[in-house]
Each structure stands twice: as structure tokens, then as C-alpha cells.
Structure 1
């Protein structure tokens, strides 16, 4: 359907609705995100082509005639997923949708039903009737958001599809003041008016009781108006492995050691214990010495990264705590290591 035809259709809808008393009327424009679930198999215009779901965007122009009725023009730019079974490949196909909808607002409220006529151009033109439901919510007097879903019934090929939209709109009209009969003025009545206490930072704590002015809107606050915090445990771990009878630190572990150094700098009250280990191969006394040497080698890297020596403790455990007790080359490789686990407590804001 061409845009000119849609314009004529909405003009007719406007004429037919002119008999309603317009308590709220005016134009609105909007933009929306669009999802369309199509299941078009073996389209005649291109043999072996299946067209599936689409995501896209669109724009609409509408008019609110009164509390109950409105109408709109719609354009959507579509991006369909397609499967060509002849070439056995998948690709995207661009499409467009033009349409017109009439909306009935239940009780003049935020929920509405809709029905309309759409022209969808993908490979060829197809005409659809659609019907659905939606909800709109005014964020301000003029801006509103809406969400809706519709069922589409093809008139040309009998397709039955579903779609959904999520949009934001600007309303140019305004509510007119209700007309009420003039009645005699009642006797004046003196009514005490409660005085609202000032709350500058909108945290529900009056300024007179607020000890922390201008707290962020995202923060939960206590009865004194100050941000609430909770303690959260944060940790970092390190595992460095070594070749047989070797205590040199491989280049592949430097980034892991830098990560531990960064953690220690971020939490200056923490310390680290580096535990050196060996496999069960060799004398226990030699393994004790070698494991301490390995821990000291990792400690030197941390010191080179700017960590104070008095924050680092090293210990050589030799073969006392084998990670893998099997007598295999793989087990021995797992046991030749230095391990560290650092914990700290971090105070984080409680959000509203």
C-alpha cells in the first residue's frame, strides 16, 4: 500500500470519529523497535527461499481524536533472516512495512486494542490485516512510551505471523479542562494545609534531618540521609608452575603476578603469603629448599612491581602438600608450583 493511500485512509478515520467529544486530542510522533516473526516457506517469487524472523526500527505519526479513539500511520524498516535451500546458505533480506491502524483506548486508559491494514515488501508485496493489544504510559505530560503485540493475517498468501513493538512518542496535544455546570459558591471553609518539608536531594529525608546533602539518586540512604554501605569480600589467587629442578619464573605468569600486585595496591592493608611446593621426586630436604627458592622468586617479581617487601611472606613446603599424589610426569608437573590467595573486604554502596 502506498503512503498516499494510507493518508487518505486516516483522513476517512478522522472524519468518522469527529462525532466524539474530544476531551483529549492532538497529533503525536514516535519511533519504535520492531520484532516480526514470519514463517514464509518456499516463496513462489524465489524457489527454495524461506523467510524467518526480523528485527528492525520504525516511525509513526498518529492523531488522538478523543479519550477512546486514535489512528496512526506507520513505517518500519525490516531486516529478515532468510534461508536459501537451493544454495544452502543463510543471509539477511531487507524489507519495508507501511500501514495504518485504528486504536481503541479501553475506558480512556492506558490499555488499548488495535486493528489495521499493512503492506509488507519482502521479495514481493504482501497485504496483511492485523489486530492486537498494547499499553502506553506517559512519562511526562507530552512524552509517553508504549508496548504492543499483534497477529498478522495475510490476504495474498494466507500467512499468519506475530509481531511486537516497543516505542517512545511525543504528544503535541493536551487535555482540555472538563466543563462543569456553574453552581453557587459554597461557604468558605478553613482547612489546615500541611506544610511539606523541603527535600532538596529527593531521598525522602527532609533537609532538616538530612546530614548528607545531595546524595546520588541511585543510593539507598539511612534515616540520617547518608548513603548506606555493605561489606563485600573480594579475592585474588595466583598459581605459578615450574619446570623440574628449576625456580625461574616463566614469562607466561608475569600478567598473573601483575594482577596480584594491582590487587595489593588497591587494598594497601592486605598482605600475601606465597607458598612454594615441589613434586615428591628427590630428597625431602632439597625439595624444602627448592620450594622456598621458588616462592622467593615470585616475591621478587611482586617487589619489582612496587609491593613493599614487608607485605610479602614466603614459605617453602617442599613435598608436604602434594596437589596430585600420582607418580606420573603430569602429577609431578602439577606439584611444582607457587600458590597464593589474597582476601580483603570492600565497602560498596547499597542501591535503591
Structure 2
């Protein structure tokens, strides 16, 4: 129950509205603390039948703050253990001592810290422990602070696993608690140059800005006007056909409409539609069939509003096979109309 109360106290301290995170100068500190230690030592080897339980006590410590993040301390605690003698059948108190050294790491230089160390506890016999825990500091002034912490102790001699907690008050020497008041000289009057006006915030003064309302997103040249760069834009088309057919399947209408939209957006562009066939059949017939396929796609573009003089068709027959294999799949791949259109677009350079 006492350990639970101390743990709650640490939690309340950690959630306090006022925390301390200011930089700390190097310096020594000393302090005193109240101590609680929960032990469960059965049949102590130097006194058979003796069980040692919890302890309350007090202690002192001295340490050194190396930086915002690290400090180390020496600790001594006077302990009063509750013990039960199973042979005599009675309870009594046994005095003990704890002393050792800890290293503390202050998280982000703030009030919370982790600790680890080594301790010697002398009660009935000596036992060495490694300990690790967490704590919280609250500075009342630049030097005076209170702290609360809890730790787990692991015995090296007998394998005991214990828990302890303490609340203390300390003083850190060497801190500047109050700044030295200095007489300030009269302020020097300095003439400050006024920056020229830049209404559109493009780093070009209004007096030199030939484009005074340039959008904030645009990069500008030395006269304050938007910079442009050439960018290549392209669109491609691929329409395939069944064997010995030239009618355009409805599945390609959306692709043809995209080409129409591109031609409308860039009215100076033209398109070359190349018709192709597989290697099956006579070459002269394939030439004629491939041209007919290209003309069928051109007719669809004209229907979408593209002028005929912007469209050129050519029938290449079986001259440019995509797949040289003599298979059904290869022949289907070769029966096609292709187009590749590109142009240069003048686009804004962004900041």
C-alpha cells in the first residue's frame, strides 16, 4: 500500500501544470530523501528462518550535474526493515544500510529522467544489487528542486528482485538564480534603410517590375515577369482489327476522342495514321487493306471535328511487322493502325 501511494505521488508530480525545462549549468548538488523499499527475502543465509520484508527510512545523496542531459550521484540510505523470525515466532525491526552510485539521464534536458546504478545493501548480510528506474524533478528555484522516483533492484548474490521508491529535496549549486542588473546605455539612434516596395512579393522592386501583379506561384525573370519553359507533350494511338477487316471497333472510340482532344488543344499539330497488316495474304492486297484501315480511323477523327487537311494516312501493309512470328497471336498484333503525335508546349516555371 505504501509503494502504491508513492507511485501515485510520482504520477501526480509528472502531470503537474508547471514543469522545468530550462538549461542547467554544471554543478554539484546535495539532498535528503524519504525512502521506501519493498523486499521479500526468505530464510536469510546468515540467520536461518528469518524473513526480511519492507523498509522505510531516510537518506542523503550528493551528485554532479555534467550537462542538461547527464548527472551522477552517490547515495546513502538508513533503512528500517520489518522482519519475521519463524524460529522464535515473532516480528521485530532490523536496521540496514544502502549505499551506491547512480547515473541519471534527463530526457531532452527536462524534468523526467531515467536512472541506473549499483547498490550494496547491508542487513544481516551484504547483498549487491543492480538497479534501474525512472523519476521526475521539479525546480522550485534555479537551484532548489524536489524529486520523486521509483526503481527495480535485481540482486546479484541471491537473485532477489525488489522495488523501491523515494521522495527528496535537493539543491544544485552554481546556478544563476537572479541576473545582475546592469545599467543600460542610452540606445544609439541608427538610421534604418527602408526596403523598396514589392507589392507582389516577387523580390523585384515595384520601380523595376514590368509585370506588377505576377502570381505568387510563378518564378520570375529580372523584370518581374513570369518565366516560361518549353515542355514536350505527346499522345499515342493504337487501334487493332480482326482478320481481313477495316471497321473501327467501338472499344477504341474513347482512345480516338483523346487524340481529337489533343489536336484541338494544339491546333498547329497534324497527325500521321499508319495502317498495318499481318504477313498473311498477298502484299498488294495488304497494302490496300492497311490504307483502308488508316482511312477508317481518319474518318472517325473528322467526325470528331478535326479538319481533313490535318490528317495524313498511309498504308504500310506487312512492311513493319511488330511480331515476326507466324502465329495467330502475332498476326492479331500486326493488324493495327498507329499514330504518335508530339508538340512543344510553353509552360510556366513555378517557384
Aligned-pair RMSD on alpha carbons? 4.0
Alpha-carbon separation, structure 2, partners of 1:307 and 1:6: 77
**Is structure 2 residue 15 aligned with structure 1 residue 10?**
yes
Kindly state the Cα deviation for residue 324 of structure 1 after the two structures are TM-superposed. 2.0
Kindly state the Cα deviation for residue 210 of structure 1 after the two structures are TM-superposed. 1.1
Structure 1 321/5 Cα, relative in aligned 2: closer, same or farther at 3 Å?
same
Alpha-carbon separation, structure 1, partners of 2:254 and 2:308: 20
- 1:131-142 aligned within 5 A: none
Structure 1 267/5 Cα, relative in aligned 2: closer, same or farther at 3 Å?
farther
Alpha-carbon separation, structure 2, partners of 1:252 and 1:244: 17
Secondary structure of the residue that 1:240 maps to in structure 2?
A: strand
Secondary structure of the residue that 1:276 maps to in structure 2?
A: strand
- 1:54-93 aligned within 5 A: none
Alpha-carbon separation, structure 2, partners of 1:130 and 1:349: 58
> Which string of whole-angstrom CA distances, capped at 9 and with x for unpartnered residues, describes residues 145-182 of structure 1?
xxxxxxxxx98xxxxxxxxxxxxxxxxxxxxxx99623
Alpha-carbon separation, structure 1, partners of 2:265 and 2:134: 59
Tell me the residue number matched to 1:182: 183
Secondary structure of the residue that 2:15 maps to in structure 1?
A: helix
TM-score, normalised via structure 1 length: 0.51
Alpha-carbon separation, structure 1, partners of 2:193 and 2:182: 30
Alpha-carbon separation, structure 1, partners of 2:304 and 2:211: 39
Tell me the residue number matched to 1:246: 245
Alpha-carbon separation, structure 1, partners of 2:314 and 2:202: 52
Kindly state the Cα deviation for residue 234 of structure 1 after the two structures are TM-superposed. 0.9
Structure 1 12/213 Cα, relative in aligned 2: closer, same or farther at 3 Å?
closer
**Is structure 2 residue 194 aligned with structure 1 residue 195?**
yes
Kindly state the Cα deviation for residue 305 of structure 1 after the two structures are TM-superposed. 1.8
Alpha-carbon separation, structure 2, partners of 1:336 and 1:184: 92
Tell me the residue number matched to 1:266: 265
Tell me the residue number matched to 2:284: 285
Contact 2:238-2:339 within 8 A present in 1 as well: yes
> Which string of whole-angstrom CA distances, capped at 9 and with x for unpartnered residues, describes residues 248-275 of structure 1?
1112211211111121122121111101
Kindly state the Cα deviation for residue 113 of structure 1 after the two structures are TM-superposed. 9.8
Kindly state the Cα deviation for residue 340 of structure 1 after the two structures are TM-superposed. 0.3
Alpha-carbon separation, structure 2, partners of 1:273 and 1:342: 8
TM-score, normalised via structure 2 length: 0.51
- 1:44-63 aligned within 5 A: none
Structure 1 312/193 Cα, relative in aligned 2: closer, same or farther at 3 Å?
same
Unaligned runs of 5+ in 2: 25-67, 70-105, 115-131, 136-150, 153-178
Structure 1 291/114 Cα, relative in aligned 2: closer, same or farther at 3 Å?
farther
> Which string of whole-angstrom CA distances, capped at 9 and with x for unpartnered residues, describes residues 78-137 of structure 1?
xxxxxxxxxxxxxxxxxxxxxxxx8646xxxxxx89658xxxxxxxxxxx9889xxxxxx
Structure 1 17/267 Cα, relative in aligned 2: closer, same or farther at 3 Å?
closer
Structure 1 332/8 Cα, relative in aligned 2: closer, same or farther at 3 Å?
same
Tell me the residue number matched to 2:206: 207
Tell me the residue number matched to 1:313: 312
Alpha-carbon separation, structure 2, partners of 1:200 and 1:273: 49
Alpha-carbon separation, structure 2, partners of 1:17 and 1:245: 84
> Which string of whole-angstrom CA distances, capped at 9 and with x for unpartnered residues, describes residues 55-79 of structure 1?
xxxxxxxxxxxxx89xxxxxxxxxx
Alpha-carbon separation, structure 2, partners of 1:296 and 1:130: 83
Alpha-carbon separation, structure 1, partners of 2:111 and 2:302: 70
Tell me the residue number matched to 2:76: none
Larger-gyration structure (1/2): 2
Alpha-carbon separation, structure 2, partners of 1:13 and 1:202: 43
